[in-house]
Amino acid sequence: MAYIDALVARGDFGQYFADDVAFEVAWNGPRAEGRQAVEGTIRFLHEQAFDARVEVKRLSIDGDSAALEAAFVGKHVAEFNGVPASGTPVTVPYMVQYDLSEGHITALRVYLSMDELMRQIKG
């Protein structure tokens, strides 16, 4: 839960990642490996390409696994996937599956429709 609180606050959420953490957006989205690269990718999406926030719907933790149901809500403020900043508001539901080990997140698999996100920013 501390990770989610830090993510929502745009705080130091990277401290919760294992050194070799892996991040991927399913289907055709970005991928990253390693603490700095994963944190940078998440910050790019939430703070640079978009001014976005996480609207938490549900969080479930069971042993070495956690699942987050949320919405990516914000505004398109910089170039993303070849589309210049549009100022368009976006709201895209998504889910993240987390792998956990020894108090750290070792993998994040994000299920977000990049097609829907692109549709919204293109208007």
Q: What is the domain-level CATH number for residue 41? A: 3.10.450.50
CA dihedral 26, 31, 35, 41 (to 10 degrees): -100
34: confidence class by pLDDT, cuts 50, 70, 90: very high
What domain range includes position 32?
Answer: 2-122
Say whether pLDDT at 29 is over 90: no
How many structural domains are present in the chain? 1
pTM for the full model? 0.93
What does the pLDDT read at residue 75? Answer: 98
Q: Encode pLDDT of 41-96 as tens digits.
A: 999 999 999 999 999 999 999 999 999 999 999 999 999 999 999 999 999 999 99
